[in-house]
């Protein structure tokens, strides 16, 4: 298949009914459920954004990854990252770390926050994480990964899931072995980003490995595909060609929470929904900004939204001028005025 190598402050507007997959329960743990999941993304997957994505049909959402060391130190930042609204369920708290004792303690503290799942990050490729033997560092030592996963499973009564990569590099792709090992220690579902750690986010995700993994003899836990899933067609292709049990959407959801609605509709009907209108995009962006400020406070809430504006405005005539002016503003009301009064006029530029 051809593809390219990516409490609310106001009432929610009326939106089309989304598939019943988003009702109570944990579709992520059900083989063949075709769930569509929001990925954990640092400084992106906060509570306001998760709320938008659940509203638009995400079956399960995850917090951004949280350091086990910060959790056991009871840091304010880690407690804030674990906070969520009931409307976000089903929700998983994702933790990472390089020490078994810290991961054990963090899992217990995460459970005390009453999420639906605890997830372990064995996939982050960033050096500052890897140098602490966390994230994808465990792909160099499968024994350490086994001990770490077992420690978390033993620490909590909640279902434990894992997100990882194909391997450390092309010479160490042992994803079948890893999947069977994780299943054996009690992990209930596995998400795989179809790149190695050495790839980072470069090149195309290697989707061919999903079928290879699903065909593993003796593997029964659900497999969730991640990496370069940016359209409803991509999702259907992976379900039909590889037999994965779910797909996880990351960067393609930034500024586009409708992608979850669109994928479900396409899977159910074979039809592509029209893109949201400019007015709908501005209204959703405004609602997320309001929720961000309510959750984080004005200063940080405004800052957190800066990663989202570009995609909300992408492709809109004169949008770059709108984005430039928004990025200069520090007060929510000033940004709301720009968003809600914006009109796409052919020859009109916003003064900057």
Please identify every residue annotated as catalytic.
124
Per-residue DSSP letter, 199: T
Q: How far is CA 94 from the centre of its chain?
A: 10
Residue that is written with structure tokens 């595909």 in the block: 225
- Burial-class residue 195 by CB neighbours within 10 Å (0-12, 13-18, 19+): buried
Number of Cβ atoms within 10 Å of the Cβ of 54 = 23
CA distance 245 to 241: 12
DSSP per-residue codes, 30-61: STT--EEEEPP-TTTS-HHHHHHHHHTT-SEE
How many residues make up the chain in this entry? 352
Whole-Å CA distances, 272 to 227, 259, 267, 282? 21, 11, 9, 22
CA distance 128 to 125: 9
Number of Cβ atoms within 10 Å of the Cβ of 206 = 18
97 neighbors 120 (Cβ within 8 angstroms)? no
Q: Where are the alpha helices (H) located in the chain, listed in sequence order?
A: 47-55, 68-72, 76-82, 100-112, 127-130, 142-155, 175-185, 208-214, 232-242, 258-269, 278-296, 298-304, 306-313, 319-328, 332-341
């Amino acid at each position: 298949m051809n593809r390219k190598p990516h409490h609310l402050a106001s009432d929610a507007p009326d939106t089309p009914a989304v598939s019943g997959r988003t009702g109570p329960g944990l579709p992520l743990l059900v083989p063949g459920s075709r769930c569509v999941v929001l990925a954990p993304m640092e400084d992106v997957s906060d509570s306001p954004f998760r709320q938008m994505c659940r509203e638009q049909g995400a079956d399960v959402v995850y917090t951004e990854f949280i350091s086990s060391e910060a959790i056991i130190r009871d840091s304010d930042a880690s407690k804030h990252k674990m906070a969520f609204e009931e409307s976000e369920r089903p929700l998983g708290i994702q933790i990472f770390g390089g020490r078994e004792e810290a991961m054990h303690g963090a899992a217990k503290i995460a459970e005390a926050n009453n999420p639906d799942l605890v997830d372990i990050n064995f996939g982050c490729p960033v050096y500052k994480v890897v140098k602490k033997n966390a994230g994808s560092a465990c792909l160099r030592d499968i024994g350490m990964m086994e001990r770490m996963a077992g420690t978390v499973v033993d620490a909590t009564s909640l279902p434990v899931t894992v997100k990882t990569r194909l391997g450390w590099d092309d010479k160490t792709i042992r994803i079948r072995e890893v999947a069977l090992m994780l299943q054996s220690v009690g992990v209930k579902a596995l998400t795989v980003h179809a790149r190695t750690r050495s790839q980072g986010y470069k090149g195309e995700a290697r989707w061919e490995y999903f079928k290879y993994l699903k065909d593993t003899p003796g593997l029964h836990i659900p497999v969730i595909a991640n990496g370069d899933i940016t359209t409803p067609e991509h999702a259907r292709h992976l379900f039909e060609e590889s037999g994965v049990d779910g797909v996880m959407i990351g960067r393609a959801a930034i500024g586009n929470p409708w992608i979850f609605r669109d994928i479900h509709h396409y899977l159910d009907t074979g039809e592509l929904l029209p893109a949201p209108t400019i007015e709908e995009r501005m209204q959703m962006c405004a609602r997320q900004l309001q929720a961000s400020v309510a959750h984080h406070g004005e200063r940080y809430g405004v800052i957190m939204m800066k990663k989202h504006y570009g995609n909300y405005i992408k492709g809109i005539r004169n949008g770059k001028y709108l984005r430039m002016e928004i990025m200069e503003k520090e007060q929510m009301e000033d940004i709301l005025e720009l968003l809600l009064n914006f009109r796409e006029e052919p020859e009109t530029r916003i003064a900057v």
